Amino acid sequence: MAMINARDALPVAKNNSNFLQVDHVIKQISGAKGVLILPSPRAWEKFSWTRKLFGSKPKEGYFIWVKKQVDFPLYTCIAIASPKIKQDLSNLMVVEEGLKVKANVTCAAAKNHLYGSHMAKGKLILKAGASLEYNHIHSWGEKDFVSPDYEFILEKGSKLKYIYKNLLPPENLNFKTSLFLKENASAELRIIVNGINSQIKIEDSIYLEGKNSSATASLRLVGKKNSKIDAVSKIIARNEARGHLDCQGILVDDKSKISVAPQINCENKKAQITHEASIGKIDEEQLTYLMMRGLSEKGAIELIINGFLKI
């Protein structure tokens, strides 16, 4: 999925979003046949069963309940457009049994140097046999603070494809996600982060709780312009299951740092979990070749990085 530039996020969202929030104001909310969309505080009041899932009464955010099959993607956008806004979001999505859903989710700053704060806790429930493709795109200003914390519950036989992409990072990013897989559930997790003058912490955890569950996690991390990236990626197998971690990073300059810690934990002797990890620099031969083809050094580096971040 293409990256949405922060300054383009609002015009795009106004034409496409099922849910659009700017600062603390809901600008647009529209469901469809078989899909109920409400502000999270309203869902808390209307449906008592959501309270356990939210955990505490939400201040803002969205509730999406997919009750029947839809043949179009769902779009949400939450943006910061004013200086020093502090968002505190609680988002909840429930996909009923056997349904196949695609969601395109954008969170962005509409301008640079807003010094905004975007804190978001999300919970996504996939009922038995459900399938969800969740494209999570972040685009921020240089001085923003961003802390997403998402939890995915995959019931029996459900499938998840979760892509988190952040090519325009904030000054501080704390990213956390947890996946819990029941019997025969499967998940594909991709985390793509381009560090630019950023302090970034990433923690992703996959719990293979059900028999024959399976998951892969792929991280692609780039550190440049005095960035520091610390990533911990885990797969915990509590049953007969399969999993694989693939963590790779590229350092563009000497002032940046990347730390990657893949962790695999088997609690069942029939589980099979593997991992691979690498951190390196730009390939000199590839860089020289591209420069010989007429690209500047900067242009060649950007081309190599763009190719590395496409997984």
Which residues span the domain enclosing 156? Answer: 6-28+69-308
Per-residue model confidence as pLDDT tens digits over 66-106: 999 999 999 999 999 999 999 999 999 999 999 999 999 99
Low-confidence winner among 7-11, 100-104, 192-196, 214-218 (lowest mean pLDDT): 7-11
Is there a domain that residue 48 lies in?
no
Tally of structural domains, the chain: 1
Is there a domain that residue 234 lies in?
yes
Is there a domain that residue 94 lies in?
yes
- Assess whether pLDDT exceeds 60 at residue 9: no
Residues 6 or more apart in contact with residue 72 via CB below 8 angstroms: 32
Per-residue model confidence as pLDDT tens digits over 248-281: 999 998 899 999 999 999 999 999 999 999 988 8
Higher pLDDT, 282 or 64: 64
Model confidence at 24, in pLDDT bands (50, 70, 90)?
very high
What pLDDT is attached to residue 1? 35
Is there a domain that residue 53 lies in?
no
What pLDDT is attached to residue 254? 87
Is there a domain that residue 34 lies in?
no
Is there a domain that residue 37 lies in?
no
What pLDDT is attached to residue 6? 44
Per-residue model confidence as pLDDT tens digits over 144-197: 999 999 999 999 999 999 999 998 999 999 999 999 999 999 999 999 999 999
pTM of the full predicted structure? 0.91
Is there a domain that residue 35 lies in?
no
Q: N- to C-terminal Cα distance for the chain?
A: 11
Is there a domain that residue 251 lies in?
yes
